[in-house]
Amino acid sequence: MAFSSRRAIRAAVVAACAISASCDEVVGPKDDDDPTTTCLANGTPLQGDLAGDTLTAAGGPYVIRDSAMVRGGAWLRVQEGVTICLHPPASIMLDGRLEAFGTAEAPITIERERPDPSYLIRPVGSGFVAEVRLRHVRILGGGIFARGGSLSTEDVTIEEAPGGGIATDRGRLVRTVLSSTCDEACASEGARGALRYSRFSGQSGLTLEDVTIRDAQGDGLSVGALPTDAPPLSVDGLVLEDVSGHGVTFEHYAPDRLLRLTRAGSIRFRNVGGDLIRGPARAAALLATPGFEGPVGEPATVSLVGAVQGKPLELGPGPLWRLLDVTGVDTLVLRPGAEVEGPTGDSTAIRVLRAKGTEADPVRLSGSGHTFKVSEIWGNEGLSHVHVAGATVRIDADQAHVASSTFLGAGPLVLSGDFPTVAGVVFEGATSTTLRLDGLGARVQGCSVSNSSGDGVVVRGAHASIHQCNLVDNAGAGVASEARGFLDARRDWWGAAGGAGAVGADEARGGELDRLHGGLPVSCADLWGRSATDLFFLCGNRLYRWSGETAEEIGASRPGGLEHGVWAGPERVWWVGSEGSICRWDGSAVEALGGAPPVTLLDVHGTSNDDVYIVGRGDALLHWDGRFLRPLWTPGDGDITHVWVVEGHLYLLRESGEILVGSPLDRGP
Q: What is the pLDDT of residues 335-370, one digit of tens each?
A: 888 888 876 777 777 878 888 888 888 998 888 888
What value does the mean pLDDT take over residues 167-175?
A: 80
Taking 50 as the threshold, does the pLDDT of residue 211 lie above it?
yes
Q: Up-side HSE of residue 343: CA atoms within 13 Å toward CB?
A: 11
Taking 90 as the threshold, does the pLDDT of residue 546 lie above it?
no
What value does the mean pLDDT take over residues 406-421?
A: 88
Q: Are 74 and 99 in contact (CB under 8 A)?
A: no
Give 450-470 pLDDT, tens digit per residue.
Answer: 999 999 999 988 778 888 889
Residue 107's contacts (CB-CB under 8 Å, 6 or more residues apart) are 13, 16, 27, 80, 81, 136, 137, 138, 155
pLDDT of residue 203: 45
Q: Are 9 and 27 in contact (CB under 8 A)?
A: no
Q: Are 609 and 595 in contact (CB under 8 A)?
A: no
Q: Quick check: helix, strand or coil at residue 51?
A: coil
Give 90-140 pLDDT, tens digit per residue.
Answer: 888 888 889 999 999 999 999 988 888 788 888 876 666 778 899 999 998
- Which comes out higher in pLDDT, residue 634 or 484? 634
Taking 50 as the threshold, does the pLDDT of residue 305 lie above it?
no
Taking 90 as the threshold, does the pLDDT of residue 603 lie above it?
yes
pLDDT of residue 279: 58
Q: Distance (Å, rounded) from C-alpha 196 to C-alpha 201?
A: 15
Name the least confident of 67-81, 93-107, 176-190, 475-489: 176-190
Taking 80 as the threshold, does the pLDDT of residue 24 lie above it?
no
pLDDT of residue 319: 60
pLDDT of residue 559: 55
Taking 70 as the threshold, does the pLDDT of residue 28 lie above it?
no
Taking 70 as the threshold, does the pLDDT of residue 20 lie above it?
no
pLDDT of residue 6: 28
**562: which DSSP letter?**
-
Please, what's the b/e burial string for 159-192 (b: 16 or more CB within 10 A of its CB; e: otherwise)?
bbbbbbbbbbbbbbbbbbbbbbbbeeebeeeebb
- Which comes out higher in pLDDT, residue 114 or 471? 471
pLDDT of residue 32: 39
Q: Distance (Å, rounded) from C-alpha 509 to C-alpha 214?
A: 60
Taking 80 as the threshold, does the pLDDT of residue 499 lie above it?
no
What value does the mean pLDDT take over residues 9-21?
A: 34
Name the least confident of 267-271, 486-490, 612-616: 267-271
Q: Distance (Å, rounded) from C-alpha 141 to C-alpha 147?
A: 19
| Mean pLDDT, the chain, integer | 75
What value does the mean pLDDT take over residues 412-422?
A: 90
Q: Distance (Å, rounded) from C-alpha 247 to C-alpha 219?
A: 6
Give 257-266 pLDDT, tens digit per residue.
Answer: 455 655 544 5
User: Residue by residue, what is the 3-state secondary structure of 500-543?
Assistant: CCCCCCCCEECHHHHHHHHCCCCCCCEEEEEECCEEEEEECCEE
Q: Quick check: helix, strand or coil at residue 152?
A: strand
Q: Distance (Å, rounded) from C-alpha 224 to C-alpha 251?
A: 5
- Which comes out higher in pLDDT, residue 89 or 623? 623
DSSP string, 301-330: EEEETTPPTT-EEEE-SSSEEEEEE-TT--
DSSP string, 220-288: SEEE----TTPPPEEEEEEEEEEESS-SEEE-S---SBSEEE-STT-EEEEEESS-SEEE-TT--BEEE
Name the least confident of 2-16, 98-112, 308-322: 2-16
What value does the mean pLDDT take over residues 194-219?
A: 67
Name the least confident of 156-170, 198-212, 451-465, 509-523: 509-523
Name the least confident of 29-38, 103-112, 467-476, 629-638: 29-38
| Phi, psi dihedral angles at 578 (to 5 degrees) | -70, 155
| Phi, psi dihedral angles at 110 (to 5 degrees) | -125, 115
Report for 107-111, 370-374, 589-593: range of highest mean pLDDT = 107-111
- Which comes out higher in pLDDT, residue 621 or 635? 621
Q: Tell how many helices (H) and how many strands (E) occur in the chain.
A: 3, 64
Q: Quick check: helix, strand or coil at residue 383?
A: strand
Query: How many residues belong to the chain?
Result: 669
Q: Are 469 and 445 in contact (CB under 8 A)?
A: yes
Q: Are 382 and 404 in contact (CB under 8 A)?
A: no
Q: Are 50 and 70 in contact (CB under 8 A)?
A: yes
What value does the mean pLDDT take over residues 444-453?
A: 91
Q: Distance (Å, rounded) from C-alpha 595 to C-alpha 580?
A: 8
Q: Taking every pair of C-alpha atoms in the chain, what is the biggest distance, in angstroms?
A: 127
Taking 70 as the threshold, does the pLDDT of residue 37 lie above it?
no
What value does the mean pLDDT take over residues 280-301?
A: 41
Residue 170's contacts (CB-CB under 8 Å, 6 or more residues apart) are 150, 151, 199, 202, 204, 205, 206
Q: Is 323 left (phi over 0), alpha (psi -120 to 50) or beta?
A: beta
Name the least confident of 316-325, 349-358, 569-578: 316-325
Q: How many CB atoms lie within 10 A of CB 314?
A: 22
Q: Quick check: helix, strand or coil at residue 182?
A: coil
- Which comes out higher in pLDDT, residue 32 or 197? 197
- Measure CA of the first residue to CA of the last residue in the chain; give whole Å: 118
What value does the mean pLDDT take over residues 234-256?
A: 69
